[in-house]
Chain A
Amino acid sequence: MHIPDGFIPITQSAVYWVIALLFIALSLRWARRELSEEKVPIVAVLAAAIFAMQAFNLPVGMGTSGHLVGGALAAIVLGSPFAAVFILTIVLIIQGVIFGDGGITTMGANIINMGVIGGFVGFYGYVGIKSIIKTPFVSAGIAAWFACFIPALAASVELWIAGTFPLVPGLIAMGTYHAAIGVIEAFITAVAVYLIWHARPDLDWSEKKTLEPGKVAAA
């Protein structure tokens, strides 16, 4: 759901960039407070894997394909929505600047949709769903589905404001396609969270008592 440059007028793009920069600043604060030297390479390899998986478009029928976005994955594995903002921002900059995937002016909107909304929906979705059904990996999958679906609806509203998509047909099409693509997001996120937390049980913050987003206040 990378919005290209021509889809949002410059002035509106600037507004999304300002909002995105606020969250980028908060994600850098998260990184300063929560990242130990030990965790740094783990964050980096997660970013590399998310980049690779974003290149792997899988067919979902209806003449459409989709790939993992990874916002829920980053947020759930690292225990903070700001981890998703941190990783997705850098991945989106690389995709836009080097590979022309997603616009430069619209990068702010893309960071908001996939990093901020994807990260927050993924993280708080996981916390909320897990408090009800208790199974961490199913919770991660369901949260990841919403972390694909809801940013897609946000993008269609932004593109309606931009005058690029009509509101209802845009919401229906974006919603239909990303409901299907969300199944990819759900499956890969659940499997990846399972594998990562089994390899590194120390990363599994959700079995510990605190459910605060990365203990921001305590740091």
Chain B
Amino acid sequence: MMETKQFVMIGIVIAIVIGVVAVFLASSDPDGLESTALVVQGEKSLTGITPPDAELVEDVHGGFAYDSPMPDYSVEDLGVAGQIIAILVGIGISFIIVLGVARVAARQKECAGK
């Protein structure tokens, strides 16, 4: 059986490789939900390609708007390097926050004496 430390190291390396490769190879076509929105907004046919000038209206109901620090997994003015930074930040933060929350939860059980 693989040691936990080794399992985690291999897992992180796989995540980083997938993330970095994604920056170069990921499809820029709209995802299923965006494609559906384009279809119902009359910008795209169901099974046809997405026209390059298709415009997705996201602000259907208005109201709340939020500006994220790294929109679309990128860093302003940094191009491909910014995309790699964004992916690595995301992988790192996902690992650390889940590790933190899960560790606190696991310790609460042990404190309660099972």
Q: Which residues in A have some Cβ–Cβ distance to B below 8 Å?
A: 1-10, 28, 31-33, 35-53, 55-59, 61-67, 86-87, 90-91, 94-101, 103-105, 152, 155-156, 162-166, 169-170, 172-174, 176-178, 181, 199-202
The answer to whether A165 and B8 have CB atoms under 8 Å apart is no
Give the CA-CA distance A104 to B68 in the complex, in Å: 10
The answer to whether B63 and A49 have CB atoms under 8 Å apart is no
Main secondary structure of the interface of A (DSSP, over half): helix
A90 CB, min distance to chain B CBs, angstroms: 5
User: Mask for B66-90, Cβ within 8 A of A = 1, else 0?
Assistant: 1111111100000000000011011
Give the CA-CA distance A47 to B99 in the complex, in Å: 9
Q: Which of A9, A38, A98, A166 contacts B68 (CB 8 A)?
A: A98
Give the CA-CA distance A178 to B44 in the complex, in Å: 17
Interface size on B, residues (CB 8 A): 76
Among residues of B, the one whose C-beta sits closest to the C-beta of A174 is B36
Q: Which of B11, B35, B65 contacts A63 (CB 8 A)?
A: B35
The answer to whether B27 and A65 have CB atoms under 8 Å apart is yes
Residues of chain A lying within 8 A (CB to CB) of residue B109: 32-33, 35
Residues of chain B lying within 8 A (CB to CB) of residue A44: 8, 94-96, 98-99, 102
The 3 closest A-B pairs by CB, nearest first: A100-B68, A63-B50, A177-B32
The answer to whether A173 and B40 have CB atoms under 8 Å apart is yes
Q: Which residues in B have some Cβ–Cβ distance to A below 8 Å?
A: 1-2, 4-5, 7-8, 10-12, 14-16, 18-19, 21-23, 25-33, 35-37, 39-40, 44, 46-50, 57-73, 86-87, 89-99, 101-103, 105-110
Give the CA-CA distance A149 to B6 in the complex, in Å: 34
Give the CA-CA distance A61 to B62 in the complex, in Å: 31
Give the CA-CA distance A42 to B64 in the complex, in Å: 36
The answer to whether A91 and B94 have CB atoms under 8 Å apart is yes
Between A and B, 25 residue pairs with Cβ closer than 8 Å are A10-B64, A36-B106, A38-B4, A41-B8, A42-B4, A43-B98, A45-B95, A48-B91, A52-B19, A55-B73, A56-B19, A62-B48, A67-B31, A90-B101, A98-B68, A98-B69, A99-B73, A100-B72, A165-B40, A170-B36, A176-B46, A177-B32, A177-B35, A178-B32, A199-B7
Give the CA-CA distance A36 to B5 in the complex, in Å: 15
Q: Which of B23, B91, B105 contacts A32 (CB 8 A)?
A: B105
Residues of chain A lying within 8 A (CB to CB) of residue B62: 6
Residues of chain A lying within 8 A (CB to CB) of residue B50: 63-64
B76 CB, min distance to chain A CBs, angstroms: 12
A55-B4 contact, Cβ under 8 Å, with A31-B102, A31-B106, A63-B50:
no
A51-B69 contact, Cβ under 8 Å, with A4-B58, A173-B40:
no
